[in-house]
Amino acid sequence: MPLETEVLLQDKNKRKDGPAHSEDLALKSAAAYFGDELIHWLGIRERALRAVPTEMVELETRHMYEDFLYEMENGMYYHFEFESDSISTEDLRRFREYEASTARIYKAPVVTYVICSSEVKNLRDSITEGINTYRVSLIRLKDENGDRLLEQLAEKTAGNLTREDIIPLLFSPLMGGRFRQKERILRCIEVLKNAETIFPQNDIRKMEAILYTFAVKFLDDDELKSIKEAVAMTKLGQMIWE
């Protein structure tokens, strides 16, 4: 199901958690759409060869769903998980299980990166059980300043925007800063509106859907009204109207 359609369903249900998992949906869509640009923005120098299926069915017919998996040029597989809460021991055990299954299936080493939007200052990144220590690489979005990022983008003309610029723009609602999430999302929508002649219409619609998904996830009903008014004038709004 396209992200734009799922956004409409989530907005109708207005669920903060449960099966919709709106934040995961937005982040997975960004990972699927941007690929190398996302990886490089996260500080990973290697290039991705391709996105790899993330559903693994064990012999006992148990499904394990990773958030995102890339095969890299260096022969390794990079496994990405998105977490909006603190990372628990059970989370790390689950990630370790994913890694072991992925390594066995693809016969290659695997590294897990956890992209975290939690407010928690000290995040757990390892567990020691028996004689083994398992560790993930943490990427904490709250350490980035979303306000400064938006100010820098505002200084660029729409014609100079690139896909590399858009990646942090889409993640800015999850970053740190003084501005409220509603203000950041509104500013992001305005940037995308100004860039409608630069990117294909379908691409703009997908990016607006990612931002709107964050709005549905994080904003209350009153704040969401402002976002709906802004979205009504966008490519996504046109699709909803039609």
What secondary structure, in 3-state letters, does 129-170 show?
ECCEEEECEEEEHHHCEHHHHHHHHHCCCHHHCCHHHHHHHH
Provide mean pLDDT across the span 172-196.
89
Torsion over CA: 132, 136, 142, 145 (sign):
positive
How many CB atoms lie under 10 A from the CB of residue 13? 12
Q: Write the CA distances from 200 to 146, 194, 196, 214, 235, integer angstroms.
A: 25, 13, 7, 22, 11
pTM of the model: 0.69
- Residue 238 structure tokens: 């046109």
pLDDT at position 62: 43
State which of 133-142, 184-193, 229-238 shows the largest mean pLDDT: 133-142
* Cα 26 from chain centroid (whole Å): 5
Residue 4 pLDDT > 60, yes or no? no
Residue 96 pLDDT > 70, yes or no? yes
Which of 116-120, 133-137, 176-180 has the weakest average pLDDT?
A: 116-120
Residue 10 pLDDT > 70, yes or no? no
pLDDT at position 63: 47
Which of 10-24, 79-93, 122-136 has the weakest average pLDDT?
A: 10-24
Distance between CA 82 and CA 69 in Å, rounded?
A: 12
Closest CA to 4 of 172, 226, 203, 182: 203
pLDDT at position 59: 39
Q: Contact at 8 Å (CB) between 138 and 116?
A: yes
Helices (H), the chain: 3-13, 22-34, 36-41, 89-106, 146-154, 163-171, 181-194, 201-218, 221-231, 235-241
